[in-house]
Structure 1
Amino acid sequence: MTNKITLDNQICFQISRAHQLFNKFYQEPLSKFNLTYVQYVTLLSLWEKDGVTVNYLSQKLGLSNGTLTPLLKRLEKADWITRKRDKKDERRVLVKLTEHGKKQEKTITSSVQGCLNRLNYDDKTFQQTMNTILDVQDRLEKSANKED
């Protein structure tokens, strides 16, 4: 690429700005449940696959254990999840949804979906956008692996 380096044509800046805007955007539907965006995506991951290890969540969400542990403690204190040592391997901590966490899935996802509908994506544009974002992630992962 030979574009002049300016703030507005930096992919990293535009993604960072979109990230900031999404965090603010998600505050509206999630505030009703006293959830942050990161707590929401953690619950979303557990709604897809419950009873997983902290390490699994760490990899799935791209968060360090140091970031994830206090987040999980807050979710546990608010009765969304439980954390228990694995009886087969005491080094592993299993994370499971509580009944409260399970029951809230449809309400929360409906609230978020209602908010997302305001973006006015048709199915084709949504999929194209997702493909572009996944392409950027893939390129970054490949680039990081070349440095190892």
Structure 2
Amino acid sequence: MTSSVATSSAVPSRRLGIIGSIVGMLALMAAVLPHWIVPIVFPPAPTDQVIVDTGHRIKDRVIARVKGMEYQAPKVEKSAERSWSEASSVTAISLGLLAILLSVLALIFREERLLAAVAATLGTGAVAIEISFVVIGALILIAILYVVANIIGLF
């Protein structure tokens, strides 16, 4: 009465899910950390300096318009802060999309669903954070324009 039936409980692979989760976590870190670290490493210019520079540019434009000449804006070099911010945004979105792709591949190859879901969630979160920063910036710009237009009397 011995049964030689081999019962093999196949454990699903976890490779793509684990890689996707790690990539998703890196994407989330690339989306969040630079917004805290970049201002510490590259502090912004003092407010009074920004106001003075803006005043000089406005004065130069007015003088050019009065003289009937076309205003030539000076070439502004891309700051290190802006370069790092752009690079971190591109990295966060790329890694987020890669994490989502690895999650889909994990589901296609019938790997463990929990790890695939974690990878997809982390990747989606990283992309959503980057998009939310753009939307917040646009809303702030709209609010500033509305206040200026209200002061001028357009509304």
- Tell whether the structures are fold-level matches, with TM greater than 0.5: no
- The structure whose residues are more often strand, as a share, is 1
The structure whose RCO (Cα within 8 Å, separation 6+) is larger is: 2
Taking structure 2 as the reference length, the TM-score comes to 0.28
Taking structure 1 as the reference length, the TM-score comes to 0.29
